[in-house]
A and B are shown apart, each in its own frame.
Chain A
């Protein structure tokens, strides 16, 4: 029954995709070959054609071309999509890892100690709602390096969900389980690692999953600002080149990579999930 449901859902998805692409393709005027252009059109360089949203067929052709050689490097303004994605992923993962290394231990502390919770809460409440991009000028001024500033912005945006979820998960560990640790005379660290961490892991992972999604959202904007490399810069650069085919292609790639990141974390989450 479920199998047939999945199958029917897949069929429906495919149908929707084909219909969507079909309507899109049909509603885009065919770009005339140069020989068919009037003198006037030739004079304008086909600009009014270029400015139109390209049809899916053009994007598929573009995707095929880009993905068959994703890692070419022809200077600062012409790198393969794979290289750009790699730059972005590197920034996201560095900033994210740094954030996790700080957020999870501090979240643990806050979750275990009502004093630490009360003392740190005002800071968290004020810092949390700040748009990560608002930090950018300050980061650029202090760090003076655009690469490091982008990493910092990722760091600052991924820290809050992880911090808050860790604190929440740790504080919510059932008292019964802590009592089990106590009656077995476990020390603070044994308790933290063998009881509290596994008990809070699903909540912590939820925070990590939210963080990675936000980090991937923010990196595009951050790279548009700092420029140089990365998928965000690539989108902006292609827009400046008025190459809308590349813009749409990279938007799709951003979506796919984001989905993959989320899938990885969903898998880890499933691994630490337990049934009460």
Chain B
């Protein structure tokens, strides 16, 4: 059997106790796989450890236990194969928008000539709709949405195998958000890239993702469910709500956030050698899990694949 592109195996993050108290177990035994070319969103309440997982995937943080494998290689540090769009844009404020992008491109393709770097950077800036003078401005002279687009252009321009997006549209107004979501999907579908994105917005996740991972509340958070979104693409914001499965999926997600994320929270008994996969659900087909009927769904136990 072919191994998945990205494997997250038994990941946990423990912060030592402040003084005397118990250590803080942010999340424990997090397992999930992502296939090549997949667009996966992760949803969970604030503080459950989404950003921490993303930082581990990026190689910027280390997990207390467990391992991340990408393309059969263990992730041991940051790499240009994994592009990150940080929650707060993280543009270098002393460089113009264009220079922020060429910064990434020059690092990715050190052998390229100045002109190649420039052309490539312009291509991606145009893709996110930033040209005609705005690219020469410093981040402080750009609007939040424009900064976000520069950040996306920088990440896409290095053409990473895996894109990690941490609440990339969090601070944007609905209109800008929609435009950039469309741009993101357009760029992603024209490539063979894999996307892992954190979001708080259920509708955004349904619009964009192939699969949505749901995290229970921390501490001892887990990835409890993997919700398949098989609404055909291209998806349109205006028409997707008329899709038969849309509200089933939406209700399932909202119910998880409102109830089950809390009900399922807390420490789990871990059987050594057992990998607890997130429960795979397809609400559009089977109606999903609603908490009135099944207050606590036992996770599936799957033996570790050898």
User: Which A residues form the contact surface with B (CB < 8 A)?
Assistant: 176-177, 179-180, 182-186, 190, 194-195, 198-199, 201, 272, 274-276
**In the assembly, what is the distance between CA of A192 and CA of B135, in Å?**
25
Please report whether the interface of chain A is mostly helix, strand, loop or mixed according to DSSP.
Answer: helix
**In the assembly, what is the distance between CA of A177 and CA of B88, in Å?**
11
Beta-carbon contact of A194 and B103 below 8 Å: yes
Beyond A176-B88, A179-B60, A185-B107: 16 further Cβ-contacts under 8 Å? Answer: A177-B92, A179-B86, A180-B92, A182-B60, A183-B59, A183-B60, A183-B80, A184-B80, A184-B103, A184-B108, A184-B158, A185-B79, A195-B92, A198-B92, A199-B94, A272-B94
Least CB distance, A201 to chain B, in whole angstroms: 8
Q: A183-B60, A184-B104, A194-B103 are in contact. Are A274 and B80 (CB under 8 A)?
A: no
Which chain B positions have C-beta within 8 A of A190? 107
Jot down 20 A-B pairs with beta carbons below 8 A, ordered by A. A176-B88, A177-B90, A182-B60, A182-B77, A183-B59, A183-B80, A183-B82, A184-B78, A184-B104, A185-B107, A186-B107, A198-B94, A199-B92, A272-B94, A274-B93, A275-B93, A275-B138, A275-B140, A276-B93, A276-B140
Least CB distance, B73 to chain A, in whole angstroms: 15
Please report whether the interface of chain B is mostly helix, strand, loop or mixed according to DSSP.
Answer: loop
Nearest neighbor of B77 in chain A, beta-carbon distance: A182
Least CB distance, A186 to chain B, in whole angstroms: 6
**In the assembly, what is the distance between CA of A198 and CA of B96, in Å?**
13
Least CB distance, A62 to chain B, in whole angstroms: 47
**In the assembly, what is the distance between CA of A196 and CA of B13, in Å?**
29
Asked whether any CB of chain A lies closer than 8 Å to the CB of B84, the reply is yes
Nearest neighbor of A202 in chain B, beta-carbon distance: B94
Beta-carbon contact of B138 and A274 below 8 Å: yes
Asked whether any CB of chain A lies closer than 8 Å to the CB of B58, the reply is yes
Asked whether any CB of chain A lies closer than 8 Å to the CB of B83, the reply is yes
Which chain A positions have C-beta within 8 A of B80? 183-185
Nearest neighbor of A174 in chain B, beta-carbon distance: B90
Residue among A183, A186, A194, A274 with the highest chain B CB neighbour number at 10 A: A183
Least CB distance, A203 to chain B, in whole angstroms: 13
**In the assembly, what is the distance between CA of A201 and CA of B94, in Å?**
10
Least CB distance, B95 to chain A, in whole angstroms: 8
**In the assembly, what is the distance between CA of A185 and CA of B258, in Å?**
40
**In the assembly, what is the distance between CA of A180 and CA of B104, in Å?**
9
Least CB distance, B157 to chain A, in whole angstroms: 11
**In the assembly, what is the distance between CA of A86 and CA of B147, in Å?**
49
Nearest neighbor of B88 in chain A, beta-carbon distance: A176
**In the assembly, what is the distance between CA of A44 and CA of B62, in Å?**
88
Which chain B positions have C-beta within 8 A of A183? 58-60, 78-80, 82-84
Q: Which 7 residue pairs are nearest across A and B when measured between Cβ atoms?
A: A275-B140, A274-B94, A184-B107, A176-B90, A182-B78, A183-B78, A274-B93
Which chain A positions have C-beta within 8 A of B86? 176, 179-180
Query: Which residues, 52 to 106 on B, are CB-close (under 8 Å) to A?
Result: 58-60, 77-80, 82-84, 86, 88, 90, 92-95, 103-104
Which chain B positions have C-beta within 8 A of A272? 94
Query: Which residues, 126 to 164 on B, are CB-close (under 8 Å) to A?
Result: 138, 140-141, 158
